[in-house]
Amino acid sequence: MDAPIVVLDRPQLGENIGFVARAMMNCGLRRLRLVRPRDGWPNPAASAAAAGADAVIEGVEVFDTIEGAVADIHRLYATTARRRGLSTPVLDGEGAAREMRAEAAEGCRLAVLFGREASGLDNDAVALADAIVEFRLDPAFRSLNLAQAVLLVGYGWWCAGPADGRDLRRRGDLPPEDTSPPATKEEMANFFSRLERALAESGFLRHPEKRPRMVRNLRALFTRARPSTAELGALHGIVESLRRGRPGDPPDAA
Amino acid sequence: MDAPIVVLDRPQLGENIGFVARAMMNCGLRRLRLVRPRDGWPNPAASAAAAGADAVIEGVEVFDTIEGAVADIHRLYATTARRRGLSTPVLDGEGAAREMRAEAAEGCRLAVLFGREASGLDNDAVALADAIVEFRLDPAFRSLNLAQAVLLVGYGWWCAGPADGRDLRRRGDLPPEDTSPPATKEEMANFFSRLERALAESGFLRHPEKRPRMVRNLRALFTRARPSTAELGALHGIVESLRRGRPGDPPDAA
C-alpha cells in the first residue's frame, strides 16, 4: 500500500524541509515533492536538519507548479487552518487518516498539500483538493509549524494502519460496479479547462468579478463527486454535446 | 478539568522550550515545568521561539529535581522511545490520552515527563512514572524531537476531549460555509429532467438501448456530489447556458 506523498508549496526555510523529512520518516512516509522551494534544491540546510532522514531527502522531486506536482495523484488533501468559503468537505485528522487508508487500499495514489510557513495555501490551491484536513486543536491557538502539521498527518496515517485492525470502511466510495479507475488530477484539470472554456464562450462566466469564485465553486462541486475516468469521459461528452447543440441532429429528439 | 502539566528534564536549547510552549498552546495545555534547564531561566531564545505562546512561557516553574517537579502530581506519565525492562505499563498515545481524560475527570493532577533532547529520560526517572507512553511510529525511525513528542501528547489529550461542537468526521456533510440548504430529492429530480431533456435534444442520448444506463450513471454521479440548492441552481444555469450557446450573445466570448 502506497503511503501519501507530501507536497510543500514554496517552502521557505531549508531547515523546515529537513524537519518535515524527519517527521515523514517517523510515520513511514517517504515521498516528498517541493513546488518552487525558495532557496532552490538541493539545500544543505535541509539535509543537515533532516538528521538521518536521508531516504526522504534523496528522493525529493521539485516542480514548478502545484498542478504539476499533483498531476498523477488520484486524491488530494489540503491542510489549512482557515475555512475558505469552499464547498470542499472538511475532515479532522482522524477522519482524513481513515479515508486515506481506505483510498490507498483501493489503489489510489494520494498526496497531502501544505502551504508556506507564513501564509499557508492560496484559495486556488485549496480548491484543487478533494478534501480539506483541519486538525482538532485549541481554537485560541491554531497555528502549527510546517513540520508539526506534517507530523500530525503522518501520525494519523501510521496509527490508522493495519496493525490497529480498525474499520477502514467509509462513505463516498466509488460506485461498486464502476470498474473504471478514479480520474487523476491532470484529467480533472483538463475537464475543468474545457468546461470553463465552454462556459466562457456561452456567456455563463460573463461577469469577470464573479468568475474566480464561480470557477472555484464549480471545481469543488465536481471534485466532490469523485468521478471515475469513464465518468469524466461522459462529462466531457455532455459539455461538448450541449455546446454543439441541435446541429448534432439527435435521432430521438422528436 | 485540569490539563496535564508538561515537565521537561534538563532541556538544552532554549529554542526547543519555545517550540514546546507553542505545541502546548495548540492543544490547550498551559502549565510547563523545567528541571534544571541548561541555560537557566528566563531564556530569551525560548521566548522568541514561543511566538505567541506567552501564557505558557510566563507561567514556567523551575525545579532542581524531577522529584520536586512532580511532588504534587497524582499520576505521572513518562515518554520514551525505548523499553526499559521495567514493569511499568506501556500505553500508546491514544491509550494514554483516554486514561488521562478519565483520571482528570476524577480530579487527579496529571503530568507528562519528557527527557533531554539527545538522550531521553534516565531509567530512574522512568521508574517514577505510573505509565510509559510510547507512540506508534515507524520502528525504523522512532526518534522524535522534543516539541514533536509534546505535540503528540497534547494532540491526543485534546482529541480525546469533549467534542467541540463541530463534527468534522462525517464525510460529505454539508459544506460548512455554504449556507444554502441541501437540494431536496424533488429539486434533484427537476434538474435530472432538465439535463436529460437537453441531452436528448443535443443527441448525447441518441442510442435508446444505452439510454437507461447512461441516465442512471449520470444521476448517481450528480447525487454523489450532494449539491446544495444554490449549487443546483448553478448547474441548471450551466445546462441552459451551454444549450443556448453562442446565440445568447455572451459579452466575453470574443
Q: Do A94 and B169 touch (CB under 8 A)?
A: yes
pLDDT at A216 over 70: yes
Residue indicated by cell numbers 480533472: A188
Chain A: closest CA distance from residue B101 (Å): 16
Spatial distance between the Cα atoms of A198 and A239, rounded to a whole number of angstroms: 7
Of A26, A93, A136, the CB nearest to B142: A26
Residue B47 has a pLDDT of 95
Residue A225 has a pLDDT of 83
**Amino acid sitting at position B116:** R
Each residue's pLDDT tens digit, B205-224? 888 888 888 888 888 788 77
Chain A: closest CA distance from residue B64 (Å): 30
At how many degrees (to 10) do helices B185-202 and A229-244 cross?
60
B205 chain-A contacts, CB cut-off 8 A? 250, 252
Q: Do B250 and A203 touch (CB under 8 A)?
A: yes
pLDDT band at B163 (very low <50, low <70, confident <90, very high): low
Residue A167 has a pLDDT of 33
Residues 6+ apart with CB under 8 A from B206: A250, A251, A252
Helix (H, G, I), strand (E, B) or coil at B88: coil
A243 chain-B contacts, CB cut-off 8 A? 242, 245
pLDDT band at A171 (very low <50, low <70, confident <90, very high): very low
pLDDT at B18 over 80: yes
Our CA angle for B10, B12, B14, nearest 5°, is 115
Residue B228 has a pLDDT of 84
In a mutational test of the A interface, the residue from B135, B137, B192, B226 whose CB has the highest number of chain A CBs within 10 Å is B137
Maximum mean pLDDT: which of A31-40, A137-146, B75-84: A31-40
In a mutational test of the B interface, the residue from A155, A194, A214, A226 whose CB has the highest number of chain B CBs within 10 Å is A155
pLDDT band at A251 (very low <50, low <70, confident <90, very high): very low
pLDDT at A88 over 90: no
pLDDT band at A180 (very low <50, low <70, confident <90, very high): confident
Residues 6+ apart with CB under 8 A from A45: A13, A14, A15, A17, A18, A39
**Amino acid sitting at position A197:** R
**Could you tell me how many CB contacts below 8 A there are between chain A and chain B?**
234
Q: Do A158 and B147 touch (CB under 8 A)?
A: no
Spatial distance between the Cα atoms of B61 and B119, rounded to a whole number of angstroms: 23
Q: Do A143 and B225 touch (CB under 8 A)?
A: no
B97 chain-A contacts, CB cut-off 8 A? none
Query: What is the dihedral sign for C-alpha A8, A13, A18, A20?
Result: negative
Beta bridge pairs of residue A112: A6, A77
Percent of chain A with pLDDT over 90: 51
Of B138, B202, B206, the CB nearest to A158: B138
Average pLDDT over chain A reads 86
Helix (H, G, I), strand (E, B) or coil at A66: helix
**What are all long-range contacts of B135-138, with beta carbons under 8 Å and residues at least 24 apart?**
B135/A155, B135/B79, B135/B92, B135/B93, B136/A155, B136/A158, B136/A159, B136/A163, B136/A164, B136/B92, B136/B93, B137/A26, B137/A27, B137/A155, B137/A158, B138/A25, B138/A26, B138/A27, B138/A28, B138/A158
pLDDT band at B178 (very low <50, low <70, confident <90, very high): low
A90 chain-B contacts, CB cut-off 8 A? 168, 176
Chain B: closest CA distance from residue A64 (Å): 30
Average pLDDT over chain B reads 85
Q: Which residue has the higher pLDDT, B166 or A126?
A: A126
Chain B: closest CA distance from residue A237 (Å): 7
Distance of CA B180 to the CA centre of its chain: 27
Chain A: closest CA distance from residue B168 (Å): 5
Q: Do A88 and B175 touch (CB under 8 A)?
A: yes
Residue B137 has a pLDDT of 92
Chain A: closest CA distance from residue B230 (Å): 11
Residue B196: CB atoms within 10 Å:
17
Q: Are A111 and A4 in contact (CB under 8 A)?
A: yes
Percent of chain B with pLDDT over 90: 48
Q: Are B169 and A93 in contact (CB under 8 A)?
A: no
Residue A250 has a pLDDT of 40
* Count of residues in chain B: 254
List the single residue in B with minimal CA-CA distance to A206. B252
What is the gyration radius of the CA atoms in chain A, in angstroms? 20
Each residue's pLDDT tens digit, B93-111? 999 999 999 999 988 899 9
Residues 6+ apart with CB under 8 A from B183: B191, B227, B228, B229, B231, B232
pLDDT at A108 over 70: yes
pLDDT at B171 over 50: no
Distance of CA A226 to the CA centre of its chain: 12
Q: Is B103 exposed, middle or buried (0-12, 13-18, 19+ CB in 10 A)?
A: middle
List the single residue in B with minimal CA-CA distance to A253. B201
Cis geometry, peptide bond prior to residue A208 (ω within 30 degrees of 0): no
Q: Do A155 and B152 touch (CB under 8 A)?
A: yes
Q: Do B155 and A134 touch (CB under 8 A)?
A: no
Maximum mean pLDDT: which of A195-204, B122-131, B149-158: B149-158
The answer to whether ipTM exceeds 0.90 is no
Chain A: closest CA distance from residue B42 (Å): 23
Residue B177 has a pLDDT of 53
Residues 6+ apart with CB under 8 A from A9: A35, A36, A66, A113, A114, A115, A116, A121, A122, A125
Q: Are B81 and B142 in contact (CB under 8 A)?
A: yes
Residue B106: CB atoms within 10 Å:
10
